[in-house]
A = this chain, B = another copy of it.
Amino acid sequence: MTDTNTNMRLKLPITCFILEIILIILFGVLVEYDKETDARKWHHSNHSEYDNDFYYRYPSFQDVHVMIFIGFGFLMTFLQRYGFSSVGFNFLIAALALQWATLMQGFFHGMHGGKIHVGVESMINADFCTGSVLISFGAVLGKTSPVQLLVMAVFEVTLFAVNEFILLSLLGTKDAGGSMTIHTFGAYFGLMVARVLYRPNLHKSKHKNSSVYHSDMFAMIGTLYLWMFWPSFNSAITAHGDDQHRTALNTYYSLAACTLSTYAMSALTAHDGKLDMVHIQNAALAGGVAAGTAGEMMLTPFGSMIVGFLAGIISVLGYKYLSPILESKLKIQDTCGVHNLHGMPGVMGAIVGAVTASLATKEIYGDGLEDVFPMVAVDKKSASYQGGIQAISLAVTLGMALGGGLLVGFIMKLPIYGAPSDASCFEDSIYWEVSSKKLLETSKLCICPHQLLSLETARVSRS
């Protein structure tokens, strides 16, 4: 591939303009305010202004929004020369995906008289779907052009909506925090795309596929926002009342326990007993993923902590031992290790959810059973039926993700999107104006003692 190929002068504008114009037209034809956002409809019925769902969902929405744009965006800035792309492409594809998701999710489960109704709940759901795309982005980080990513987003959002429809609407699966719909789907979809886009000569840019001191600090911003707001994520669309409250609480404990086991495993497995930033940045979040399905159930703080504790262990072991095998044996180059953060913990969360669901009784949930398991409470199915549905949903999700990723991977492999060459992967300057020339001109030298080299050492190494 030549420089001409990665030139985005026409490719990116054409793609963005066409997609956005299609979106605007479809929104014009299909989308209208829901009852809570429409001036006439809201004021038609008789209720207090304070009953508007805005007040009970919007703070959660904003927390989720921060996770999507700051959390995912900065988590991926750990690469030394890929900060602009990490946070910038994250921004671009998220802005596209949330619009497209509004249409796709609305089409499958938000239609009212031929119109898609939008409000704070559709905003949260769209951000959730976007999260799934950003997980897949993590698997191919550094090896794709922005146009390729936009194409991936369009297809993945569509398939996400189909899978979500099968699970939530057809099967009656419970998955409020998206262990299956978001994490498992996003991770395995992305891994399959990475497999199809396998680059045998990626070692050419290997020296750039790592972090430096400051890029790790930026990544910690992403990690911490994801960690702090994960309770909001998992509880954002559960039923109101005790359900939201309990989900947030369970997730909080799962994450706390996960952090302890992550630090323990990182020191245990890493070189010289030193902590590895990759583990801290990622594995400490696995507890949030693993509590995504069962978080709204009566998992108890005790159960949540066990789940988080194990998720942290599994995730660090994945980074340490499984990722190298995935690359060498299965030819999956998973830049961010999404298999360890979203893949395995997502599957684990699905299984925990299936088990917890199958143990549900009227005695434990009381009248709250209807909120959590309407199939059991209203449709009189047994709890083990619900558990079975949960297990089937995991299988469906894995199938959809792997099949979809395979298909979309081949679409993304077409040599028309301006993907970077093997040697220019993990490199901002392919797609961004980077101020390197300016730097030479101004002839200023950064003397900043962050690193371990003394000037003396430096002299020796140069002479």
Cβ < 8 Å to B, chain A residues 408-463: 429, 431-436, 438-456, 458-459, 461-462
Mind listing 28 A-B residue pairs with CB under 8 Å? A7-B273, A8-B273, A9-B273, A11-B267, A16-B261, A17-B261, A27-B301, A39-B246, A39-B366, A39-B371, A43-B366, A43-B367, A44-B366, A49-B240, A50-B51, A55-B55, A74-B221, A83-B217, A91-B284, A92-B260, A95-B256, A95-B284, A96-B260, A212-B450, A213-B435, A274-B429, A436-B452, A447-B451
Q: Which residues of B contact A75 (CB under 8 A)?
A: none
**A19, A119, A225, A434: which has the most chain B beta carbons within 10 Å?**
A434
Judge whether A105 is part of the interface by a CB distance below 8 angstroms: no
B43 touches A368 (CB 8 A): yes
Task: Compute how far the CA of A12 lies from the CA of B274 in the bound complex, rounded to whole angstroms.
Answer: 10
Chain A contributes a number of interface residues (CB within 8 A of B) equal to 161
With A16-B264, A99-B256: A435-B83 Cβ-Cβ less than 8 Å: no
Min CB gap A453→B, angstroms: 5
B212 touches A448 (CB 8 A): yes
Judge whether A374 is part of the interface by a CB distance below 8 angstroms: no
Min CB gap A265→B, angstroms: 7
Q: Which residues of B contact A227 (CB under 8 A)?
A: 69, 91
Judge whether A396 is part of the interface by a CB distance below 8 angstroms: no
A368 touches B39 (CB 8 A): yes
Q: A441 — nearest CB in chain B belongs to which residue? A: B207
Q: Which residues of B contact A302 (CB under 8 A)?
A: 24, 27-28, 31
Task: Compute how far the CA of A259 lies from the CA of B23 in the bound complex, rounded to whole angstroms.
Answer: 13
* Among all A-B residue pairs, the 7 with the closest Cβ atoms: A444-B449, A39-B368, A40-B366, A9-B273, A49-B241, A16-B264, A95-B259
A436 touches B462 (CB 8 A): no
A446 touches B444 (CB 8 A): no
Task: Compute how far the CA of A445 lies from the CA of B439 in the bound complex, rounded to whole angstroms.
Answer: 12
Cβ contacts A230-267/B at 8 Å (1 or 0 each): 00100000011111111011001101110111011101
Q: Which residues of B contact A261 (CB under 8 A)?
A: 16-17, 20
Q: A122 — nearest CB in chain B belongs to which residue? A: B249
The stretch among A56-64, A181-189, A334-342, A345-353 that forms the contact with chain B is: A56-64
Judge whether A216 is part of the interface by a CB distance below 8 angstroms: yes
Which one of B41, B59, B270, B436 lies within 8 Å of A62 (CB-CB)? B59
B273 touches A36 (CB 8 A): no
Q: A20 — nearest CB in chain B belongs to which residue? A: B260
Q: Which residues of B contact A20 (CB under 8 A)?
A: 257, 260-261, 264, 305, 309
Judge whether A53 is part of the interface by a CB distance below 8 angstroms: yes
A249 touches B9 (CB 8 A): no
B459 touches A99 (CB 8 A): no
Min CB gap A443→B, angstroms: 4
Q: Which residues of B contact A229 (CB under 8 A)?
A: 62
Cβ < 8 Å to B, chain A residues 167-196: none
Task: Compute how far the CA of A224 lies from the CA of B92 in the bound complex, rounded to whole angstroms.
Answer: 12
B40 touches A368 (CB 8 A): yes
Judge whether A143 is part of the interface by a CB distance below 8 angstroms: no
Task: Compute how far the CA of A447 lies from the CA of B54 in the bound complex, rounded to whole angstroms.
Answer: 49
B449 touches A24 (CB 8 A): no
A40 touches B364 (CB 8 A): yes
With A39-B365, A40-B367, A432-B277: A33-B69 Cβ-Cβ less than 8 Å: no
With A120-B249, A224-B87, A451-B436: A263-B12 Cβ-Cβ less than 8 Å: yes
A217 touches B218 (CB 8 A): yes
Q: Which residues of B contact A298 (CB under 8 A)?
A: 33, 38-39
